[in-house]
Every structure is written in C-alpha cells, then in structure tokens.
Structure 1
C-alpha cells in the first residue's frame, strides 16, 4: 500500500499491486486493473519510488 495525495489535497492509501499504468498529463493519472482512475499530485517518478519501497518492505520480511 502506498500513500498518495489527490488533487483535492486529501491523503489516501492505494494498493500498489493493482496499478496497471501511470501517466503524467501534467498531473499523474493512475489506472488500476479494474479500470478505476485516480488523479494525484505526485509525479510518475515519485509513484514508482513509493511502489519500489513498498515492494522492498514486503519481500525483505520482518
């Protein structure tokens, strides 16, 4: 799960395992595998970094 900030400045948590694609136009648009789209303030690079950090925590174990 990764923390993101929507365009309304509200913070929410998104399941990174359901991300299908990320586009930047100029805000970032995250499309999930179920077709839902989320507009967020973070850049594509920031989103990728958060997903990598999340995956490292999961696979590193306790």
Structure 2
C-alpha cells in the first residue's frame, strides 16, 4: 500500500497492485485497472518509487530475476 495526497490536501492509502498507468498531464494522474482515475500531488516519479518500494516489501520485485538465473 502506498500513501498519496489528493489536491485538497487529504492523504489516502492506495493498493499499488491496482495501478495500471501513471501519467503527468502535467498533474500526476493514476489510472486503475477498473478505469478509475486519481489525480495526486506527488510526481510521477514519486508514485513509481513508492510502488516499487511496496513491491519490494511484499517480495514481488526480484522473484523473476531469481527464477531467470536458474534458467527455469
């Protein structure tokens, strides 16, 4: 889960697994798999880094590299 801020200053927590796309229009817009769009104060890079950190914490990042190293 990642913490984000909407434009009225309220923070909320988003399950990063639901993110389909992150874009800057110039405001950062997150599109979820269900088609819903969220506009947040964080930059595109900050959202990507937060999502990557979340994936590392739950063990999703690096799993494919380990499998690929063994040529399975």
Is TM (by shorter chain) over 0.5? yes
Q: What is the CA-CA distance between 1:10 and the residue it aligns to?
A: 0.4
Correspondences of 1:18-33 after superposition (within 5 Å): 18-33=18-33
Question: Over residues 1-60 of structure 1, what are the superposed CA-to-partner deviations in whole Å (9 max), with x where a residue is unaligned?
Answer: 100000111000011001010110111000000001100000010000000110111018
Answer 1 or 2: higher relative contact order, Cα 8 Å, separation at least 6: 1
User: Whose strand proportion is higher, 1 or 2?
Assistant: 1
TM-score between the two structures when normalised by the length of structure 1: 0.92
Q: Indicate the structure (1 or 2) with the bigger Cα radius of gyration.
A: 2
Give ranges in structure 2 of 5+ residues lacking alignment. 61-72
Aligned to 1:15: 15
CA-atom RMSD in angstroms: 1.1
Tell me the distance in 1 between the aligned counterparts of 2:18 and 2:8: 22
* Count of aligned pairs: 60
Deviation >6 Å, runs of 4+:
none
Give ranges in structure 1 of 5+ residues lacking alignment. none
